[in-house]
Copies of this chain bind each other. A is one copy, B any other.
Amino acid sequence: MNKIVFGVDVGGTTVKLGVFTADGTVIEKWEIPTRTEESGSHILPDVAESILRKIDEMGYDKENIIGVGIGTPGPVQPNGVVRRAVNLGWGYMNLVEILENLVGLPVKAGNDANVAALGEMWKGGGQGFSDIVAVTLGTGVGGGVIVQGKLVAGATGSGGEIGHINVEENEEEACGCGCKGCLEQYSSATGVVRLARKRLAMDDKPSMLREGELSARSIWDAVKAGDEVAIEVAERFGHYLGKCLAGVAAVVNPEAIVVGGGMSKAGEIMFEYIKPAYQRFSFHATKDVQFKLAQLGNDAGIYGAAKLVIGDK
């Protein structure tokens, strides 16, 4: 009997689950709702119940199960301690201990963006590399750093928080984190909408963006259509992201940078705006990095969570 492994990705509204073979073939994936009521106290029992039921259905013994990997929002310390996860209602707890007790299997946990990075390295856009930086361009900017095949979780579980690197000292509006000038304020999906709104308010230059609803998607569609205002917005997006990634590359010197998240659906065109700033600001020995698109979409988390518990095995 081949060994199997579970990957779990806890989001604010749904929990994604997957069961994989040890070589990363997905056998089945499914979702359950995330019950955030009562301080999120149902979430881990719901996950455990769903996993135990699946094991039963599949007719597996526990000896043939490698374990359960789980990714959750917010900092997760390498030992499994979560101090607070606002979206889920969680306060201080040891996620790994609790889930191990509930499922009776080895558990490994990590931050969701970090775990997604690991998934992309294993089976997505970062396949074939062992040193990558993954960037997730969604509502915010998340990230994950992988060195020699291993996640850099960080001392307090905040490795790869590149969305909160300062890229503009002169910013006057505050980021969600309280600081001013974080990468997230320019290069997330909400960031480019903010940049576009500010640009449109500056003058009356004609633009497709003045019609219909403004969104990251409408902005990239306008860029592709050659809209000059949208292109200016894309240039600022790319300037800050490219500069920031050049700095990140000076720290960990990756082989590849994998760009994912909802906004990455815009495709390779993003790289035309990121690369010039990356080349301008990067140290010579880091200039040859490869830019890759993420490939696993919303499944990156379950793949990475499974890989987290498989480790180097």
Interchain CB contact under 8 A, B253 and A156: yes
Binds B, one of A17-25, A158-166, A185-193: A158-166
For A145, list chain B residues within 8 Å (CB): 251-252
Q: Does A254 contact B (CB under 8 A)?
A: yes
Q: How far is the CA of A65 from the CA of B46 in the complex (A)?
A: 55
Interchain CB contact under 8 A, A250 and B131: no
Interchain CB contact under 8 A, A253 and B165: no
**Interface residues in A, total, Cβ within 8 A:** 45
Interface string of A78-118 (1 = CB under 8 A from B): 10000000000000000000000000000000000000000
Q: Does A154 contact B (CB under 8 A)?
A: yes
Interface string of A115-154 (1 = CB under 8 A from B): 0000000000000000100000000000101011010111
Partner of A247, one of B156, B247, B283, B286: B247
Q: Does A225 contact B (CB under 8 A)?
A: no
Q: How far is the CB of A249 from chain B (nearest CB, A)?
A: 8
Q: Does A248 contact B (CB under 8 A)?
A: yes
Interchain CB contact under 8 A, A285 and B75: yes
Given contacts A179-B281, A243-B166, contact A157 B253 (CB under 8 A): yes
Q: How far is the CA of A177 from the CA of B246 in the complex (A)?
A: 14
Q: How far is the CA of A110 from the CA of B78 in the complex (A)?
A: 27
For A286, list chain B residues within 8 Å (CB): 154, 156, 158, 161
Residue in chain B with minimal CB distance to A182: B283
Interchain CB contact under 8 A, A162 and B281: no
Residue in chain B with minimal CB distance to A129: B155
Q: How far is the CB of A129 from chain B (nearest CB, A)?
A: 8
Residue in chain B with minimal CB distance to A247: B165
Q: How far is the CA of A145 from the CA of B247 in the complex (A)?
A: 14
Q: Does A59 contact B (CB under 8 A)?
A: no
Q: Does A205 contact B (CB under 8 A)?
A: no
Interchain CB contact under 8 A, A251 and B248: yes
Interface string of A223-260 (1 = CB under 8 A from B): 00000000000000000000110111011111100000
Q: Which residues of A contact B (CB under 8 A)?
A: 75, 78, 131, 143, 145, 147-148, 150, 152-162, 164-166, 169, 177-179, 243-244, 246-248, 250-255, 280-281, 283-286, 288-289
What are 14 residue pairs bridging A and B, where the CB atoms are less than 8 Å apart in the complex? Answer: A78-B148, A145-B251, A145-B252, A148-B150, A153-B253, A154-B286, A156-B286, A156-B288, A157-B253, A157-B285, A159-B251, A159-B252, A169-B243, A179-B281
